[in-house]
Amino acid sequence: MVQKALKEIKRGVAEIIDEERVTELLKNYYENGENYYIKAGFDPTAPDLHLGHTVLIQKMALMQKYGARVQFVIGDFTGMIGDPTGKNETRKKLDRETVLKNAKTYEEQVFKILDPKKTDIVFNSTWFTEMGSIGLVELTTTFNVARMLEREDFEKRFKSNTPISISEFLYPLLQGYDSVALKSDIELGGTDQTFNLLMGRHLQRAYNVGKEQAVITMPLLEGLDGVNKMSKSLGNYIGITESADDMFGKLMSISDELMWKYYEVLSDKDLEEIKELQKSVDEGSLHPKKAKEMLALEIVERYHDSNKAQKAKVEFDKVHSKKELPSDMNEYALSAPIWIAKALNEIGLESSTSQARRDIKQGAVKIDGQKCQDEQLQLQKGEYILQVGKRKFAKVKVV
């Protein structure tokens, strides 16, 4: 049992630090029915969860089946500082109300995956406001600058004389202290978090918590561009609250190479099964598009349902493969006569009339399926279907 659980847990992870401890926890669960705590921290500023986050959350959901209780930490205190991982800009301060609102949004999204009965949502300001400045200074004595500079990005910045603020040094300490306050058994995070996660171990020792958390890191999911990690600010993400059609479409647009990575970290299929698929594609017996469709269906199903997923697929084929019109389009009413460029701008298909003119010149604009050649065209009374590029459609009634 333990081995089977461990095997499933290990799937797709980047690294497990202290695997023995994980084994022990599982054993204890199966033999004595004791639960254990897994922790993961989330930034209170970005409540829009995307598939990149789900890699982590799914892993936690899986572990909930094997006796884990999830400590879902909302970093409302640490959020004020901003994680220096990567090149973040200074954060805006968030007021209490916004934080709570964001937390609510998290809950709604996260319980699509996690089991609410086995999840505790906690705010780290709870213990940090209690800690006080003396406590904070004590916290800083547990670590030294040289070790802090071992962190790769700090080291780089230090060597290149890029400023590092003291508060940035505080961040890993604070995040690590969460594990002390919560007495976590395991902490999960992305590979870029490794240093911060290990800090939890260090601090648990320093504060004599009586245990040291194991660390599980998950690979970072590349975004739709296949290069950068999935993030909201880069706009290369698939949000879990997006409509079935959008989700399906976005998944279909990833490159074939990226598809296999997505399979590995996002799909519930066995690794062997995925290998089989990949083999059939390589041999040519399975069209890569088919393989991608299966992936897209699986994921859309997870966040919607199989019915909607099927519909999204049918719709997708209709619009893109057969080049037919989508079944629902936004409808607009305009008064006649109206200049075509103006109309496109008004209904939001184009950002300006100048842009509309450019697109018309390039042949990107279609009216009722016919390329629009005349940028001066006036739309007279009647109903038209306007299209810009391959994906933007609208129905317009001119009266």
Partner RNA sequence: GGUGAGAUACUCAAGCGGCCAACGAGGGCAGACUGUAAAUCUGCUGGUUUUCACCUUCGGAGGUUCGAAUCCUCCUCUCACCA
* CB-based contact 339:365 (threshold 8 Å): no
Note whether 359 binds RNA by CB under 7 A.
Answer: yes
Residues 237-276 that bind RNA (CB under 7 A): 248-257
Note whether 233 binds RNA by CB under 7 A.
Answer: no
> Which residue number, 1 or 314, has a Cβ lying nearer to RNA?
314
Note whether 82 binds RNA by CB under 7 A.
Answer: no
Q: What is the C-alpha separation between 354 and 221, in angstroms, rounded?
A: 37
Number of residues that bind RNA (CB under 7 A): 42
* CB-based contact 275:211 (threshold 8 Å): no
Beta strands in the chain (DSSP E): 15-17, 36-42, 68-74, 119-123, 186-190, 214-218, 331-334, 338-339, 365-367, 370-371, 378-379, 382-388, 392-398
> What is the DSSP track for 139-189?
HHTTS-HHHHTTSHHHHHHHHTT----HHHHHHHHHHHHHHHHHT-SEEEE
One of 5, 181, 388, 394 touching RNA (CB under 7 A): 388
Q: How far is the CB of 145 from RNA (least distance, A)?
A: 18
Residues in the chain: 399
Q: How far is the CB of 296 from RNA (least distance, A)?
A: 8
Report residue 191 as tokens. Answer: 């590979």
Is residue 327 classed as helix, strand or coil in its secondary structure?
Answer: coil
Note whether 304 binds RNA by CB under 7 A.
Answer: no
One of 39, 59, 302, 357 touching RNA (CB under 7 A): 357
Sheet holding 331-334, edge to edge: 331-334, 392-398, 382-388, 365-367, 370-371
Q: How far is the CB of 36 from RNA (least distance, A)?
A: 41
DSSP code at position 239: B
> Which residue number, 41 or 223, has a Cβ lying nearer to RNA?
223
Note whether 348 binds RNA by CB under 7 A.
Answer: no
Note whether 358 binds RNA by CB under 7 A.
Answer: yes
Q: How far is the CB of 228 from RNA (least distance, A)?
A: 10
One of 32, 90, 141, 321 touching RNA (CB under 7 A): 321
Note whether 307 binds RNA by CB under 7 A.
Answer: no
Q: Which stretch binds RNA (CB under 7 A): 64-72, 87-95, 199-207, 352-360?
A: 352-360
Nearest CA to 244 out of 332, 316, 312 is that of 312
Note whether 316 binds RNA by CB under 7 A.
Answer: yes
Note whether 378 binds RNA by CB under 7 A.
Answer: yes
> Which residue number, 263 or 316, has a Cβ lying nearer to RNA?
316
Q: Which stretch binds RNA (CB under 7 A): 20-28, 172-180, 194-202, 338-346?
A: 338-346
Answer positive or negative: Cα dihedral of 179, 185, 188, 192: positive
Sheet holding 186-190, edge to edge: 15-17, 214-218, 186-190, 36-42, 68-74, 119-123
> Which residue number, 116 or 226, has a Cβ lying nearer to RNA?
226
Note whether 391 binds RNA by CB under 7 A.
Answer: yes
> Which residue number, 19 or 298, has a Cβ lying nearer to RNA?
298
> Which residue number, 5 or 247, has a Cβ lying nearer to RNA?
247
Nearest CA to 182 out of 34, 66, 40, 47 is that of 40
Q: Which residues in this chain contact RNA in the complex, by CB under 7 A?
A: 161-163, 225, 248-257, 287-289, 292, 316, 320-321, 339, 342, 345, 351-355, 357-359, 362-364, 376, 378, 388-392
